[in-house]
Structure 1
């Protein structure tokens, strides 16, 4: 079968681009040939608009010329929804469509939309032949909006051969777009208290987003143990992981963050919140730590306890590594998608 995968350029920033990059690098099937069409590229407004316009203009001709059987659309909320809606409407006239939703705040996006926009959202969600989401929690949400079958395929990552975790590392890291949704400001609220107990520990926040606002806040609070690391490439990330004792992501809204899966695959325990699909990867007090979003007192207490207990760090690391190996590996991921594609065979 021939699949046309639609979404951001694999070299773009963000979890959705990482998923597509993983498809490009690791998906290897004798029965399924995946081609790619980028709807978003990093760069100027003109560059981004050009990618969108070109994808809209090309999709029908590519489907026909390449005899595409299934269009696999990656979608989030806001602008991503409206861009992909145009492509879904065109693709559906030509072949089968599977809609793969990564959105971390689609519920908020839907609830804040005008009733006419909500009607359009439901209309678009009714167009694909199958909807795939990242967790059972999100499946329940989308089942209220569409009669199209909704299934769950969790994100996955490539596994290192061995657990590389260093329990004596002193860096607490955070990957993702910096801002309120990811809980970045909650980290600033507890950094000083953690620093008093563990003066050698540093918090590194990696990603783009509200860098200027957070930098201003760091100066106001006189925080010297929090460093903004910016966006990092794969080679730099390897060094960062080698020196990380804990990955934190105290988010308020999520799908199933690639950052959590990637760090767990490295053996790094995670502290996150019980939102979206995160509880499917992190089991509290077994392979990591889960708290309620916005509970900064608990965030502070759990980090301090974790940093003071080497046995806990080792146990969580082994359990995290095993969790990814058993449930979130690329091999299993490919098998799930191959089954999805096969089940859609013959749909037009």
Structure 2
């Protein structure tokens, strides 16, 4: 058996969402074989009973893997609230047994979760963050916020990652109708309904919008009918990864006017193809597309969203420029071939493997202060 062994714990690979997309992408990298990674699911979608059963069954499997597999590092992927509670239990079990444990924070609601928690719960959250061998933040904005919550925790910045397209797609196509795409759970948090209201005000008779995802799909379809958008808006529901890839390959602009985001995979997948991105200014999005890689909007500002849509329809040069800049940023920061090596370096560092002890081989190298400044100005 490979000497290096990692145990990953997260939601089920059948759970729709960015964490699953990230997990499936990492399974295709050399990290999976070099660290002989095994995966345990402690959550799946369903009723409260289904979720409880998944956690109990996953926890038992986790303990079995700890005894039989004997991992050299445990990597826990969490969001907030119940997800963090589940992973906190497993983190204390693994760390008390002496195993290096990495806690990977994905949730866009984590700061709100901490702020709304009782004083005792905040103490437990802080203690859990400090107990981890390393806490992975998706970017400098999230790293600074986590450091304020738990100054004693070891926070490292490693972003989500996607495979990079060989070259930016469709950037020179300016003589055809513009194709917009929205990807994600359809609902208030993602700004889906504000997008539809903005779309109704857009002066672009030939432009089309495809909104793919689960959630409040029927409510969105009702709003489409109410606003008489049937000829330009399509809501196909949740799509397979292959279908999402085809949709993005033929798109020009990704629109995601979210209120809160960590580091959405949909935006990364669009950037990796060289698409122009219009996104909400909450969470980690300014760090992703700020500085010329896209347009930032306020999620509940329908007029502002309309203006951004109209700008990229009317200004092909702007649309192409944003797409090229987004592709270049994805190449530098979010290319999966770069990010898996950073995880490999982190694992070696926390396990004491002498092959890679220099943290500069894995920690991201862009100025954190600049991202905070962009948020403050926004």
- TM-score, normalised to structure 2's length? 0.85
In the alignment, what sits opposite 1:60?
63
1:135 aligns with 2:115: no
Among 224, 229, 243, the alignment partner of 1:223 is 229
In the alignment, what sits opposite 1:51?
54
CA distance in 2 between partners of 1:89 and 1:204 (Å): 44
Among 252, 263, 268, the alignment partner of 1:245 is 252
1:72 aligns with 2:75: yes
In the alignment, what sits opposite 2:123?
119
Segments of structure 1 that go 5 or more residues without pairing to the other structure are none
1:190 aligns with 2:198: yes
Please give the root-mean-square deviation of Cα atoms over the aligned residues, in Å.
2.1
Range with greater deviation from structure 2 (41-50 or 153-162): 41-50
In the alignment, what sits opposite 2:107?
103
1:294 aligns with 2:300: yes
CA distance in 1 between partners of 2:194 and 2:298 (Å): 12
Q: Could you give the per-residue CA deviations for residues 2-22 of structure 1, whole angstroms, max 9, x where no partner exists?
A: 110110123321011111111
Q: CA deviation at 1:69?
A: 1.2
In the alignment, what sits opposite 2:186?
178
**Matched residue count:** 344
Q: Is the 8 A contact 2:177 2:206 kept in 1?
A: no
Instruction: Name the SS of the counterpart of 1:253 in structure 2.
Output: coil
Q: Could you give the per-residue CA deviations for residues 211-264 of structure 1, whole angstroms, max 9, x where no partner exists?
A: 233233333333323332211102211321133121011111111111001011
1:192-341 → structure 2 map (5 Å cutoff): 192-194=200-202, 197-224=203-230, 225-284=232-291, 286-341=292-347
Instruction: Name the SS of the counterpart of 2:37 in structure 1.
Output: strand
Tell me: CA distance 1:275–1:27, structure 2 relative to 1, closer, same or farther (3 Å): farther
In the alignment, what sits opposite 1:155?
160
CA distance in 2 between partners of 1:188 and 1:251 (Å): 13
Range with greater deviation from structure 2 (36-45 or 56-65): 36-45
Q: Is the 8 A contact 2:12 2:41 kept in 1?
A: yes
Q: CA deviation at 1:346?
A: 4.2
Segments of structure 2 that go 5 or more residues without pairing to the other structure are 354-378
Q: Is the 8 A contact 1:15 1:258 kept in 2?
A: yes
In the alignment, what sits opposite 1:145?
149
Range with greater deviation from structure 2 (58-67 or 11-20): 58-67
- TM-score, normalised to structure 1's length? 0.92
Q: CA deviation at 1:100?
A: 0.3
1:89-100 → structure 2 map (5 Å cutoff): 89-94=92-97, 95-100=99-104
CA distance in 1 between partners of 2:328 and 2:127 (Å): 41
Q: Could you give the per-residue CA deviations for residues 56-96 of structure 1, whole angstroms, max 9, x where no partner exists?
A: 11222311211211110000012211221221122222211
